[in-house]
Amino acid sequence: MKIRTSLVHLTTITFLLAARAVAQVEAPPARIVTLALDAQSVTLLHLRPGFISSVRLPEEVSSVVLGDPVAFKGEHSEAEPRLVFFKPTIARPARTNALITTRTGREVSLTLVSEGSMAHGEPVDYVLEYQSQRSFLVESARSSFVIGETRKIAEDSRKGAAGASEADAMLESSKGAVSDVIAWQGRDLRVGVRGIEEKGQEVTVVFAVVNASPRTIELLPPQVQLAGPSSHNHPKKIKAEPVAIKDYRLASRRLPSGASIDGVVVFERPPFKEGRERLLLQVAQVEEVDRPVFAPIAFVAPVKGGGK
């Protein structure tokens, strides 16, 4: 009788252990998520020990930084320049943040969450794909990086002086020789700042663009960024944060060979910066979006007629 009871207990224990092992190796509900890239949002990425999740971006990745590199692992390979892989490295529940920086200085923020190896029924994000509207450089209206619509000067002038914006007035008054530019940057596409005006925290930059290439080019909307060396033990890495643009004007988006145009960009200056950071005006052409030209902008506009 005791032998029979022992066999029953042994069979029950074996069955329970087998059921538990099956539950542990059973694949969790898988999700494939597609999101529009939004600089103002932080994406929640659900992970699980024993599984890897991939994040695909619209452009090449330059660096990946983890808040807790002990509990999570992030991998990026030059062979797959737009992919980043994340996975937990511990069995217990954990949570941290991750920051992905692209080659054009865009930053993507994520919160990595792992419910642990004992969690059952919790979904896992196998694939997270970011998509951009039109271009990765021109984000949706929800983004903090807002770009105004390009309008011709003649269209705005019909509204009358009261309806004309400050950008239009600055563009109209900026007409002059290209020799007025402080310093030229770039080779085939040359960009230079003409002048800067400040009203409180609002900064207006007048600049010029020259097409020194032998072909006609088309320009993308200008951008402004605050850039400097990365502080994450990567002295050669550059960290760039986009600055929200309030308005901009370009006299033309298409430039024949040898032609020059004027432009104006209006933005709100960041309240402060680090010593090695710089404000940069970024101008790129549609055919070479990965090779923009950067022109430095003075963080504090010089006083007109004043001494140094």
For the chain, the straight-line distance linking the first and the last C-alpha, in angstroms and rounded, comes to 103
Which helix (H) or strand (E) segment is 83 a member of?
Answer: strand 83-88
- Whether residue 79 is contained in a domain is answered as yes
Q: Does 161 share its domain with 293?
A: yes
What is the token pair recorded at 88? 């937990």
**Domain of 100, in residue numbers:** 27-131
- Whether residue 137 is contained in a domain is answered as no
Query: What's the pLDDT at 104?
Result: 76
- Whether residue 2 is contained in a domain is answered as no
Q: Does 108 share its domain with 181?
A: no
pTM of the model as a whole = 0.46
- Whether residue 10 is contained in a domain is answered as no
pLDDT at residue 143 is higher than 50: no
For 187-240, write each residue's pLDDT tens digit: 999 999 988 998 888 999 999 999 999 999 999 889 898 887 765 555 555 667
Higher per-residue confidence, 106 vs 39: 106
For 111-134, write each residue's pLDDT tens digit: 999 988 887 777 899 999 988 754
Closest CA to 72 of 94, 56, 55: 94
CB 107 within 8 A of CB 99: yes
pLDDT band of residue 161 (cuts 50, 70, 90) is: very low
- Whether residue 183 is contained in a domain is answered as yes
Higher per-residue confidence, 69 vs 308: 69
Query: What's the pLDDT at 156?
Result: 39
- Whether residue 230 is contained in a domain is answered as yes
For 74-97, write each residue's pLDDT tens digit: 998 888 889 999 999 999 999 999
Round to whole Å and give the CA distance between 107 and 251. Answer: 30
Q: Does 281 share its domain with 157?
A: yes
233 backbone dihedrals φ, ψ, rounded to 5°:
60, 25
Round to whole Å and give the CA distance between 175 and 21. Answer: 76
Give Dmax (Cα) for the chain: 108
Higher per-residue confidence, 181 vs 112: 112
Number of domains in the chain: 2
For 234-286, write each residue's pLDDT tens digit: 555 566 788 888 888 888 889 999 999 999 999 988 888 888 888 999 999 98
Residue whose structure tokens are 């230079």: 192
Q: Which residues contact 64 (CB under 8 A, 6 or more apart)?
A: 74, 75, 76, 84, 98, 99, 100, 101
Which helix (H) or strand (E) segment is 205 a member of?
Answer: strand 202-211
